[in-house]
């Protein structure tokens, strides 16, 4: 008779064959299993999972070349453009933490977050140039440009961005070009390592940082699929900002299901319905107020949309009028 039971194996969680739970594993798998499926749609632009994974690895590689690694913060001040999606993979692939900034905040709040989170790199967009320029000047007190506490600024160029000053030390595409598309990134050494840092809007004092770990992001991303019964290759419209709790973990959920991300610079109901019609969007998420906008949009904007759309809602409890209105316009 054995002296210890066969399942007293003294499992070492740090042993070599322990694999951390991380949503980064999803993009590697989708790029391998569904390389030619569409990952990103943005205006006339189309990107497969193979291309998107390569671009994320380029981003990680270029960041690593600048010394970014575990424990560092990379902040992003971006609308729901492809680079915002890519940052959710490329940044944590280096071990660094992604800090998505709420693009509606003022320079003081942004400066506070950049300082408090100690962002070493900032990805930004011309649309927010005025706020970002002012915030950067505040970082490190009167430091401004030249202050070592000022993050390295990467400007994501976009022909659809409104006019604005060019702020970047480098453009996003030039930065990616420095990176290796076959970069050998690593899963985190510990699944409890931070993947993302998000700040509250500071309505009752200074913003407070909320940290998500790789394990939590993995489990939440999977739970989105299970709870919503979201099928593989869904077509998802980015009506929910990715800076809101990382878009409820949907960048990672979409990678898990090899779904298509229809990116959206701004919420304009005519554009939203155009995108739904053109790409046969099956899923979207939004706060109640956005559903209110869609319900109250001119009916002509919805012409020709006959397929059912799955809408996830969150925020304060949605009023009955919103729920009824959504059903009326085909979002259940």
Provide the 10 A C-beta neighbour count for residue 62: 24
Distance of CA 41 to the CA centre of its chain: 15
**Are β-strands 97-100 and 194-199 bridged in parallel, bridged antiparallel, or unpaired?**
parallel
CB of 209 to a copy of itself, least distance (A): 4
- Token pair 């940052």: residue: 87
CB of 225 to a copy of itself, least distance (A): 5
CB of 163 to a copy of itself, least distance (A): 34
Closer of 8 and 159 to a copy of itself (Cβ): 8
Footprint on residues 225-254 left by a copy of itself (CB under 8 A): 225-226, 229, 231-232
CB of 194 to a copy of itself, least distance (A): 4
In the list 9, 44, 163, 332, the residue contacting a copy of itself (rule: CB under 8 A) is 9
For residues 190 and 167, give the distance between their C-alpha atoms in angstroms, rounded to a whole number: 36
Q: Give the sheet arrangement for strand 235-237, strand by strand.
A: 45-48, 38-42, 260-262, 235-237, 283-286, 310-313
Whether 179 contacts 61, CB under 8 Å: yes
Region from 101-109, 206-214, 270-278, 318-326 binding a copy of itself, contact rule CB under 8 A: 206-214
Region from 52-60, 130-138, 218-226, 273-281 binding a copy of itself, contact rule CB under 8 A: 218-226
Find, among 85, 99, 89, the residue nearest to 237 by Cα. 85
Region from 81-89, 114-122, 128-136, 161-169 binding a copy of itself, contact rule CB under 8 A: 114-122
Region from 7-15, 100-108, 237-245, 301-309 binding a copy of itself, contact rule CB under 8 A: 7-15
Site string for a copy of itself, 135-154 (x = CB under 8 A): --------------x-----
Structure tokens, 174: 């030039």
Site string for a copy of itself, 157-176 (x = CB under 8 A): --------------------
In the list 107, 161, 170, 222, the residue contacting a copy of itself (rule: CB under 8 A) is 222
In terms of residues, how long is the chain? 332
Judged by phi (left if over 0) then psi (alpha if -120 to 50, else beta), residue 141 lies in left
Three-class HEC string of 224-260: HHHHHCCCCCCEEECCCCCCCHHHHCHHHHHHHCCCE
Region from 6-14, 179-187, 269-277, 299-307 binding a copy of itself, contact rule CB under 8 A: 6-14
In the list 32, 67, 69, 71, the residue contacting a copy of itself (rule: CB under 8 A) is 71
Closer of 47 and 193 to a copy of itself (Cβ): 193
- Token pair 């604005």: residue: 164
Find, among 159, 165, 154, the residue nearest to 129 by Cα. 165
Provide the 10 A C-beta neighbour count for residue 106: 10
Closer of 21 and 107 to a copy of itself (Cβ): 21
The yes or no reply on residue 209 touching a copy of itself (CB under 8 A) is yes
For residues 84 and 241, give the distance between their C-alpha atoms in angstroms, rounded to a whole number: 10
Can you count the helices (H) and strands (E) in the chain?
Answer: 12, 13
The yes or no reply on residue 44 touching a copy of itself (CB under 8 A) is no
For residues 66 and 73, give the distance between their C-alpha atoms in angstroms, rounded to a whole number: 13
Residues near a copy of itself (CB under 8 A) are 1-2, 5-9, 11, 13, 21, 71, 73, 97, 115-118, 149, 192, 194, 197, 209, 211, 213, 219, 222, 225-226, 229, 231-232, 256-257
């Amino acid at each position: 008779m054995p002296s210890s039971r066969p399942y007293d194996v003294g499992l070492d969680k740090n042993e070599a064959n322990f694999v951390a739970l991380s949503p980064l594993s999803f993009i590697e798998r989708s790029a391998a299993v569904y390389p030619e499926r569409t990952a990103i749609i943005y205006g006339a632009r189309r990107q497969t999972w193979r291309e998107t994974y390569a671009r994320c690895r380029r981003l990680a590689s270029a960041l690593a070349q600048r010394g970014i690694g575990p424990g560092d913060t990379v902040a992003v001040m971006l609308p729901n453009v492809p680079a915002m999606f890519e940052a959710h993979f490329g940044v944590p692939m280096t071990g660094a933490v992604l800090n998505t900034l709420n693009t509606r905040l003022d320079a003081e709040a942004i400066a506070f977050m950049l300082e408090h989170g100690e962002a070493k790199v900032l990805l930004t967009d011309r649309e927010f140039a005025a706020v970002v320029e002012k915030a950067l000047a505040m970082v490190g007190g009167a430091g401004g440009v030249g202050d070592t506490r000022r993050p390295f600024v990467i400007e994501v160029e976009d022909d659809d961005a409104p006019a604005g000053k060019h702020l970047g030390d480098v453009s996003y595409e030039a930065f990616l070009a420095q990176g290796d598309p076959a970069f050998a990134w690593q899963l985190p050494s510990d699944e409890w390592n931070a993947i993302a840092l998000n700040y509250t809007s500071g309505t009752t004092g200074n913003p407070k940082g909320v940290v998500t770990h790789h394990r939590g992001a993995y489990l939440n991303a999977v739970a989105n699929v299970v709870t919503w019964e979201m099928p593989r290759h869904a077509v998802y419209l980015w009506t929910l900002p990715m800076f809101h709790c990382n878009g409820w973990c949907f960048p990672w959920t979409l990678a898990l299901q090899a779904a298509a991300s229809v990116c959206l610079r701004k919420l304009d109901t005519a554009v939203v319905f155009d995108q739904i019609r053109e790409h046969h969007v099956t899923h979207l998420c939004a706060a109640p107020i956005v559903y209110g906008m869609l319900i109250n949009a001119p009916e002509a904007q919805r012409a020709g949309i006959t397929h059912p759309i799955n809408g996830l809602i969150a925020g304060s409890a949605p009023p009955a009028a919103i729920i009824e209105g959504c059903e009326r316009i085909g979002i259940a």
